[in-house]
């Protein structure tokens, strides 16, 4: 058996998320179907983690075991001919048999796009979070800095979070502003369920002057979801990169 | 009767174009329906020009006459509540009764987005033209300069072009490059049918070394469509602005 690692870009708009749900099709299913068409094997595709419905990826990572003799780097083009237009393999390679996309991930990078204009945008409706309120960008930047470093992020975990250890380390967090867009880049050793979206929701509440930047350390200390801001919409979130 | 001018952003992916066709719904129809829901009137919405299926707009302009007493600037929010998510009014105002979106337009600005990567992009599939070949960007830039000024653009008109006078003036043409994207901005006093897409297709052929930059003046002189490059895909084209 060989082990194939793939890097995937997808538009999450038309899926229930990475993983199959009772109510619809997951991105994982579509890729497993494509692998079946190429290899004739029903594989179990292991993703680096799940993404919710509407969340996008530019660099999701997954791996699967196969008896196929297709060279690792050839899977990219072969699978792309079988995948729908909203999913593409951007890299493929054979890796050590032991490599595991989820367990071996040491860090992840996400980005989040806010569209900040009084009127909604048809062109960005599925690719950004529409915030029609005036936002104080400089305050948001000051607030973001408090997330850096190692903290217990229990206040920033959605109710579906099942991880017992809620301590995580944020290596980088950066906000930039161009025209009507505010973009967050965030890198950490791991993220709890909805953690990026709750951080963004909290930063938006800071931008709206509902929370002050210096309150962030207190919100973290509370270890209680109800003290943080709202959960920002799925469609603004992009899984950019998984580090191994 | 009053005359209302609206500026419209739309995602052209799910429409047959600005205007209704036998085989589907136009953006114009959707806006006329929304106006009917607000005013009870079946108006004839006059656009600055048509856009093809898949072509987008950030600043299409249209106007309509109405007996309604809704203030001009209020139409924006009122219509947006009745429009689908892929169409939005970004400005509305009452204008002189004589104002005509098409006849009074003195210039237009378009942009065109090329995604230049060996692999297709799920996230940009409807919003850019995927060119998988290596492109010589500097050559494309040199080629673009030849379009500046007043020329007979008959070589750059699609077969559906019905305009007798094929002379047009290009005021600005600019190519920029960032990561995997090449973006064209072009401004002129008017554009023939498919003119921007044929200019882009010709620049791509220059980037692929199939046409040399200095051949452009000769292609223009021929006044024959067959000497120019291919017609670039609709999904990369954006109507940015109409000037009055």
Minimal C-alpha gap between B234 and chain A (Å): 15
- pTM, rounded to two decimals: 0.94
What is the DSSP secondary-structure string of B12-67?
A: GGGSSBSS-BTTB--HHHHHHHHHHHHHS-----EESS--BTT-EEEEEEEEEEE-
- For chain B, residues classed under CATH 3.30.70.580 are 2-95
Q: Which residues on B lie below 8 Å from A76 (Cβ)?
A: 119
The fold of A107-243 is Alpha-Beta Plaits (3.30.70)
Q: How confident is the model at residue A164, as a pLDDT? A: 81
Of the pLDDT bands very low, low, confident and very high (cuts 50, 70, 90), residue A161 is confident
Which residues in chain A are classed under CATH 3.30.70.660?
107-243
Helix, strand, coil percentages (3-state) for chain A, rounded to 5, are: 25, 30, 40
The ipTM assigned to this model is 0.93
Beta strands in chain A (DSSP E): 2-10, 46-47, 56-66, 87-95, 107-115, 129-130, 149-152, 167-178, 181-188, 237-243
Q: Are A187 and A142 in contact (CB under 8 A)?
A: no
Question: Within an 8 Å CB–CB cutoff, is residue A82 touching chain B?
Answer: no
Cβ atoms within 10 A of the Cβ of B144, count?
Answer: 22
**pLDDT tens column, B63-75:** 999 999 999 999 9
| pLDDT tens, position by position, B191-236 | 999 999 999 999 999 999 999 999 999 999 999 999 999 999 999 9
B90 φψ region: left (φ > 0), alpha (ψ -120 to 50), beta (else): alpha
Q: What totals of helices (H) and strands (E) does chain B contain, helices first?
A: 5, 10
Is A86 assigned a catalytic role?
A: no
List all residues of chain B from 31 to 70 with a beta carbon under 8 Å from chain A: 56, 58
Interface membership of A122 toward B (CB under 8 Å): yes
Beta-strand relationship, A87-95 and B129-130: unpaired
Our CA-based measurement puts residue A235 at a distance from the nearest CA of chain B, in whole angstroms, of: 12
pLDDT recorded at residue A22: 82
Judging by DSSP bridges, how do beta strands A46-47 and A87-95 pair with one another?
unpaired
pLDDT at A127: 98
**Among chain B residues, CA nearest to A9:** B122
Amino acid A114: pLDDT: 98
- Average pLDDT value for residue range A17-33: 93
Mean pLDDT along residues A107-118: 98
Structure-block tokens of residue B44: 């004839």
When comparing pLDDT for B2 and B162, which is higher? B2
Q: Which CATH class is domain B2-95?
A: alpha beta
Of A117, A130, A160, A119, the residue nearest A232 (C-alpha): A130
Cβ contact A122–B89 (<8 Å) = no
Residues forming a β-bridge with A62 = A6, A47
**Over the stretch B77-125, which tens digit does the pLDDT of each residue have?**
999 999 999 999 999 999 999 999 999 999 999 999 999 999 999 999 9
CB proximity B121 to A under 8 Å: yes
Each residue's pLDDT tens digit, B122-152: 999 999 999 999 999 999 999 999 999 999 9
């Amino acid at each position: 058996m060989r082990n194939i690692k793939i890097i995937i870009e997808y538009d999450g708009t038309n899926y229930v998320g990475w993983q199959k749900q009772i109510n619809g099709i997951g991105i994982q299913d579509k890729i497993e179907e494509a692998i079946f068409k190429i290899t004739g094997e029903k594989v179990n595709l292991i993703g680096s983690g799940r993404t919710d419905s509407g969340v996008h990826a530019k660099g999701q990572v997954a791996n699967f075991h196969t008896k196929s003799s297709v060279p690792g780097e050839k899977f990219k083009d072969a699978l792309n001919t079988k995948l729908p237009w909203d999913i593409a393999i951007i890299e493929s390679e054979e890796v050590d048999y032991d490599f595991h996309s989820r367990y071996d991930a040491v860090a992840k990078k996400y980005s989040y796009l806010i569209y900040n204009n009084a009127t909604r945008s048809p062109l960005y409706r599925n690719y950004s979070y529409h915030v029609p309120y005036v936002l104080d960008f400089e305050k948001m930047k000051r607030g973001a800095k408090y997330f850096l470093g190692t903290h217990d992020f229990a206040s920033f975990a959605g109710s579906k979070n099942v991880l017992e250890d809620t301590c995580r380390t944020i290596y980088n967090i950066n906000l930039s502003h161009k025209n009507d867009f505010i973009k967050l880049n965030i890198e950490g050793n791991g993220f709890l369920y909805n953690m990026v979206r709750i951080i963004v929701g909290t930063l938006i509440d800071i931008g709206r002057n509902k929370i002050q930047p210096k309150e962030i350390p207190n919100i973290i200390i509370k270890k209680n979801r109800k003290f943080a801001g709202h959960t920002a919409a799925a469609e603004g979130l992009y899984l950019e990169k998984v580090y191994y």
